[in-house]
Amino acid sequence: MIFLRLMAILSLLIAPSMVFAQESVTLSEDIDNDISPTSTPSNDNTSAKAQNDDTAKGEILEGISVAIGEFAQKNIMNAEQVFCYQIATPPENYTGYTLDGMAIVGFCGVANDRLREIIIRELFSNPDHILFDEVEDCVVKPQIMLRFMRGVDATDVLLSSPCHAVAIFYGGKLSAFNAKPASTVIDNLIRPLVKNKIDFVSPTLFRQLLPIGVVKTEEQKALLKKKNEPFRRWEQNKQEKAEKSAGWNKLKSQH
């Protein structure tokens, strides 16, 4: 029953406006509609993730959270975009595009909020899907990389099959977890993503990657103000501390 509900929720990426009439579709079929085939990120100004950093459902398991660190976890839980790439171990003398040392085979879409929540719930928050104290006798070979983007920072999540594992790469550190109990979930994520992949096109090759966002509407302006509040508070506190530690009140009398 839980699996059927999981399958039914994965219904909104390729055609966000499409509504599924059947809830009994398989996960691999349903996920087709939770991955956008376009290489253009969503411009939805009212994205749930952009409006509220706390909308991601579930909490990351402590064993994963401690291993990957605070900032890697924030990118996953509060991602503004999630990009999907098909990857493979690069052959010798490979000169093509790479990501975290893996060869980019293709681009497999942009995940929507519902799919992000499912991935977090099933692969990061479900204690029955990760084995922290067991090692499998197999070689991890990632097939899919999900890049969780927040601002210009990113946490990469690699999905491996048939040696089922979830690996998280951030800040030069790789943390891998045995996900054998989640083998069905991982396989039913990988299959449609690989099927939907298109050839990778470098955005920087055509100078299509902006180093900073451009505010175009009042709604975006209000959203930007909200997002910048933590930094402004930090800057203000830093300035106040600097003012208290300098000036005439800190001069010692000379004798």
Tens-place pLDDT, residues 168-205: 999 999 999 999 999 999 999 999 999 889 999 999 99
The pLDDT score that the predictor gives to residue 53 is 44
Domain range list for the chain: 2-202
List, for residues 7-43, the tens digit of each pLDDT value: 443 333 332 222 222 222 234 445 556 655 554 455 5
Please give the angle made by the CA atoms of 211, 217 and 218, to the nearest 5 degrees: 120
Does this model's pTM top 0.75? My answer is no
* Other Cβ atoms within 10 Å of 235 Cβ, number: 11
**Of the candidates 81, 111, 84, the residue with the CA atom closest to the CA atom of residue 14:** 111
The pLDDT score that the predictor gives to residue 11 is 36
Q: Report how far residue 9's alpha carbon sits from residue 112's, in angstroms, rounded to the nearest whole number.
A: 11
**Of the candidates 115, 93, 116, the residue with the CA atom closest to the CA atom of residue 33:** 115
Q: Which residue has the tokens 């550190």?
A: 173
CA distances from 93 to 97, 158, 201 (A): 12, 23, 21
Which residue type occupies 77? Answer: M
Q: Which residue has the tokens 């980019």?
A: 104
